[in-house]
Structure 1
């Protein structure tokens, strides 16, 4: 199996608005490039807050770019607030607290130049309406959204506005960010790969963390051939430092002890010419499981350091379980 590197980059803005009485900002906006948050804005502070060292440097050295970003966010904040009013009126929900979220942006292929724009709205925690740019129509998966669909389908000015924003302004801004943040956004960071297991009868979790970019794959092999039976692959999730993590579990309950070393966990990353291959080895598995017969009666060996190690392993095992069981619609944190 050969991992194919993608050359697509993305700029995504997430708008979150809350109506009614609340101590939270009425509107919050988070911008990310290639799934890494680059800046934040909210309706209380009304200023752009860079989230990465290179965006801080960019805004400091190019104040005109900062002002352009601020002007754009202020403009779209007002449009978003107007959309909140439309949703409440069309749904007869002028009272109470409601949450509107918009996810919009573009993908740009820096080799072919192909651009794809996208925007979708969620209301009170559910997918509500999205734009089909190719067919120039709004898609309403649920009946309550049909009123807004008909309203927006008839508004050709709104459609042209989104076409311009998503297909022209967005890719231009993305290219500007890519040009300035190239050393950060196009770097390659190797992960640390570990084997983890809750109990001797649990699946073995192959966990890779600290890698960048997110164009990666993690899979199991037996005798050099990729296998799928007994394997549960998790999603790629972001770390707090801008890197990523992922995991893949192998059910070892039916594998004979003498056959364990026939299995490998393979990690592939765009930018690396060689795979990172880890052979399944019981002696390399980390776990926080202690046999009842071996449970210490006196002070725990290792003191505070031992407790910290157990907490770290427990946290990573939880991430493996969450990778397999949780649905992450936007940027989950582990």
Structure 2
């Protein structure tokens, strides 16, 4: 009201001073007079008006050549209609191309604006990372203090029963969290140790992986293991007649006997005469045709191995090899 009265008084003074007509008395006061009146009546408002400056030309401006911010579909259609050459031919064949082109341009403009906004915000956050972080921490600390203060105030207003119930709930929550952590990491109860050793790998200082098909070595055939082999004396024996044999087929043989342990070789050496007699009686049962073939010789060695293992007492014979085999029809 005071401002309006001041304005009316100024108008009347101007009319009397200048002798203006009734139509001219409607002119308002000058900007300088208005600023002085505002400064006297409301200094804070006048200060805020002075802080509003002119817009900076080009600040934050996004411009795309050939595309205004107030671009319309009608302008895009006019642009296509004024085109010549291949573009005009396309418009005749596809009359809906202006609408598609307009939508694409609008979408591209929106994307550019969004990207520019994002880039400016990111730049602002990076440049002012320190102050922004400090302000956020202060705000979080203030909010935490307020929340704690409100909580304490509310807690003080509770009755004794509610206070004890709340404290019990907090303790129960802590205990439940500890139990869940214990179960997920080490188990609620300690594991009982196994009474028996299931695998020596659990007690070994180092473990190795190997391929059993290519990286294994036979125990008995290894060059690093002792070869328990005994050479029998040469034996000459009569063979049974067969289709290709003559009237008196004969054979001369020398055998290697491999024992599973050294005790087997010692026993065969001590009982060499008995083992030799066993070999002779076994060979006599073979025919000339059997002994003369490779398959027959293998069958003979296998049969000798089984027969000698029946009489041994300190182990067994693993294999028997033929060193010399001469047969006569």
TM-score band (shorter)? Answer: under 0.3
Q: Between Structure 1 and Structure 2, which shows a larger proportion of strand residues?
A: 1
TM-score, normalised on structure 1?
Answer: 0.18
Higher RCO (CA 8 Å, separation ≥ 6 residues):
1
TM-score, normalised on structure 2?
Answer: 0.19
Q: Between Structure 1 and Structure 2, which shows a larger proportion of helix residues?
A: 2
